[in-house]
Structure 1
Amino acid sequence: MLDDTAVENKGEVVYVADPKLLSWCDAVPVFRQRACLTHALIASYGLLHKMRVVPSEAASEEDIRKFHSQEYVEFLQRGVPEEEDEGAQDEFGLVCGLAGGSLTAARELTSGRTKIALNWCGGWHHAQRDMASGFCYVNDIVLAVLHLRSAFPKVLYIDLDVHHGDGVENAYLFSPKVVTLSLHRREPGFFPATGAVEDKGLGKGKLFTFNVPYKEGINDKQFVYLFESILYPLCEVFIPDAVVCQCGADALSQDPLGGGNLTLKAYTTCVTHVANLSKPTLFLGGGGYNKSNAAKLWTAITSTVLKCPVSAEIPEHQFFSWYGPDFELEVTAGLRKSSNTQESLDQTIKAVHGNIEKLAEVLGQK
């Protein structure tokens, strides 16, 4: 349950959550209970009292149609027979509910009521304009960016999920107002098999798309090296008015679908850099198929954004048993060897820096 007293506490950080949003998120079959796990862990550390908790307002059909095609919206309204797709939802209200969390957070930012908003029930970055993909039915990120642009002309989208943020990239492929920056695993057979470093956008949006692919087993040092080497040079050229950061947890060690070897430290370091940009920022969830580890990550990021350190020992609460046998807020790296080398990382960085230099020329900075 939500702690109602937290709603009255005014803080610099807005946290979007309410029982309906949590239940909508938990209704997605592959993520059952993950939203409640995350919320309960954040609450157990007393972090709700340090944020302004805002209930989500479901997206309207009009909101959904701002990105998704009429045919696809009608398809969602009809629902999909279970025998065709076990992951599909019968109620259009559910997808509107899921999309509403990120729109609610975006409205808090555009209103000026906050500089940082969190929605761990958001981050559905694979949904395309006219089709579902990768457990994502409505692209809440694209809808949130569309709303943010009503107040902030230039938006930087950062994707830390192990899977390429293809749906968001495709939505803004032709836009010079939204830069998409995705760090992701890219190898033959790994979903969604997109996001090559050579993919830079199209038309007026050419050079506004940045892909940073890596290989299986990436570790903290390598991931942070990539991120730090690219974020600041990019932001010196494309100076964003607002930032959206998708924090998919599936690059963590022990994720059954990710193949990464990150700990919480890699993510919290990157999040600190994003917060240091001092722009209105929306932090979102995403993938994460080890549910307790995803809850740990988003709790750690919440703590980082609040600049409120928490104990390594997880407090006793209703889902305490999920965190055994150590009951600690930590995700240890595994023994998996990284397929990335210093040479391969530097080659990627060199290619991305080349794209940044070309973007600087386009923007008249060189």
Structure 2
Amino acid sequence: MSSNCTKKVVYIDSKHLRKECDRIPQVNGRATLVHELIVACGLLNHLTPVPSRLATEEEISSFHSRLYIDFLQQVNESDDLEAHEDEQEEFGLGYDTPLLSRMYDHVRVIGGGSVVAAEALTSSGAEVAINWCGGWHHAQRDGAEGFCYVNDIAMAILKMCKKFQRILYVDMDLHHGDGVQNAFASTSRVMTLSLHHHGPGIYPCSGDVTDVGISNGRYYAVNVPLHEGVSDSTYCDVFQKVTEKVFDTYRPDALVVQCGADGLHGDPVGCAFNLTSETYTTCASLLLSRGLPTLFLGGGGYNLPNTARCWVALTAAIAGCKLPAEVPEHDFLGEYGPYFEFGVQPSLRKDYNTKEYIDSIVQQITENLKHVELKEKSQSSEKR
């Protein structure tokens, strides 16, 4: 497989990281599936593998509260998880995000992967870093939420803030990136941009276009609420229009991109969008064309073979490689049947995002960003 990529692309991996990610109930085995397909496609030859490590308590506490960390440490060695049922609800642990054995160890492993990726961009000369075991964007400061036990994204961004003055976070998951937006809602150091399914009763019930941040971060949260049936053409069109306006206004020094694949057609949890892998590779290419240090992370994606197809296609696009037409022979080939092509086919479902609706969203975002433009000009004048 040839490569025309001249960037140093770091790939975060370790057996421990994959094993820990694999035991998250909703994506059991996904990390191994993704990694083995990357290996089978020969992509490791075009990446710089970097081993993960455990996050330190200081790194975890850079975002998460002392109370949450104390609870995780308290139950870490517990043999009777049911004994903590009353306490766990206080920290968002329950039905959809159940308490796991060795909870604190889990948080250290998952958080550490994205911290190492951030370090690769800040101190190791990498231009792009990939951690498909990261991207848990719903976790809040005080607890778990929405399948997410630790907000590795917030931890990575805080690490990157030590070098980069302005960071743009882009969230492509089907669900609103509420945990990351909440983490940085009051600062202009980080702008959050989330494109997601939105409407009454749709989890996490946030992320309207009027949701723009607070205090010093007001208008530095950009939300693109989308209706059901989003097609590749609709998504890529609005993505290009909004990111162009964001870059023109904010001019970030670095990017963090969450690539949740639950917007793919056939996802059993998302069930709302009608995307293929081409949307993800097209949008990633648009971001990479900016030439900024960029961190790519995973996220949602509950049709595991399709998520693997998508993230491996993204890995190839980032590394400047071409994929074979079909999934190569390897130990997990059977997971990709009954068809073995790399492409994820869209359905014939209707796209409820009309041109008028998309135009109105882009117009509202444009108006919101005018406030950012004024703030940026004011700050620039003050520095002179």
Identify whether the pair has TM-score above 0.5, normalized to the shorter chain: yes
What letter is aligned with 1:81? L
* Partner deviation per Cα, 1:7-50 (whole Å, 9 max, x = no partner): xxx97100001100000100111111100000001110000011
- Are 2:300 and 1:304 aligned? no
Change (3 A) 1:11 1:50: farther
* Partner deviation per Cα, 1:264-319 (whole Å, 9 max, x = no partner): 01111000011111100000000001011110110000000011111121100010
Q: Is residue 169–residue 180 contact of structure 1 (8 Å, CA) maintained in 2?
A: yes
What letter is aligned with 1:229? K
Distance, in Å, in 1 between the alignment partners of 2:225 and 2:192 is 13
Q: Structure 2, unaligned stretches of length 5 or more?
A: 1-5, 86-93
What are the residue-to-residue correspondences of 1:263-342 with 2, within 5 Å? 263-342=276-355
The structure 2 residue matched to 1:54, chosen from 50, 64, 89, is 50
| Alignment RMSD | 1.5
Corresponding residue SS for 2:196 = strand
Q: What TM-score, normalized by structure 2, do the two folds share?
A: 0.91
Distance, in Å, in 2 between the alignment partners of 1:334 and 1:88 is 36
Q: Is residue 11–residue 52 contact of structure 1 (8 Å, CA) maintained in 2?
A: no
- Are 2:15 and 1:19 aligned? yes
- TM-superposed CA distance for 1:78, in Å, is 2.6
What are the residue-to-residue correspondences of 1:1-366 with 2, within 5 Å? 12-79=8-75, 81-82=81-82, 84=85, 85=94, 87-91=98-102, 92-258=104-270, 259-364=272-377
Distance, in Å, in 2 between the alignment partners of 1:192 and 1:122 is 19
What letter is aligned with 1:105? A
Q: Is residue 7–residue 127 contact of structure 2 (8 Å, CA) maintained in 1?
A: no
Corresponding residue SS for 2:296 = strand
Distance, in Å, in 2 between the alignment partners of 1:22 and 1:310 is 23
Corresponding residue SS for 1:15 = strand
What letter is aligned with 1:77? Q
- TM-superposed CA distance for 1:335, in Å, is 2.1
Change (3 A) 1:229 1:11: closer
Q: Is residue 7–residue 128 contact of structure 2 (8 Å, CA) maintained in 1?
A: no
Shifted more, 81-90 versus 324-333: the winner is 81-90
Q: Is residue 261–residue 333 contact of structure 1 (8 Å, CA) maintained in 2?
A: yes
Q: How many percent identity over aligned positions?
A: 44
Q: 1:3 aligns to what?
A: none
Distance, in Å, in 2 between the alignment partners of 1:61 and 1:90 is 18
Corresponding residue SS for 2:286 = helix
- TM-superposed CA distance for 1:216, in Å, is 1.0
* Partner deviation per Cα, 1:48-95 (whole Å, 9 max, x = no partner): 011110110110111111111100111222339358436222211111
- Moved segments of 4+, more than 4 Å: none
What letter is aligned with 2:254? A
* Partner deviation per Cα, 1:234-275 (whole Å, 9 max, x = no partner): 111111111000000000000011111000011110000111
Shifted more, 213-222 versus 85-94: the winner is 85-94
Q: Structure 1, unaligned stretches of length 5 or more?
A: 1-9
Q: What TM-score, normalized by structure 1, do the two folds share?
A: 0.95
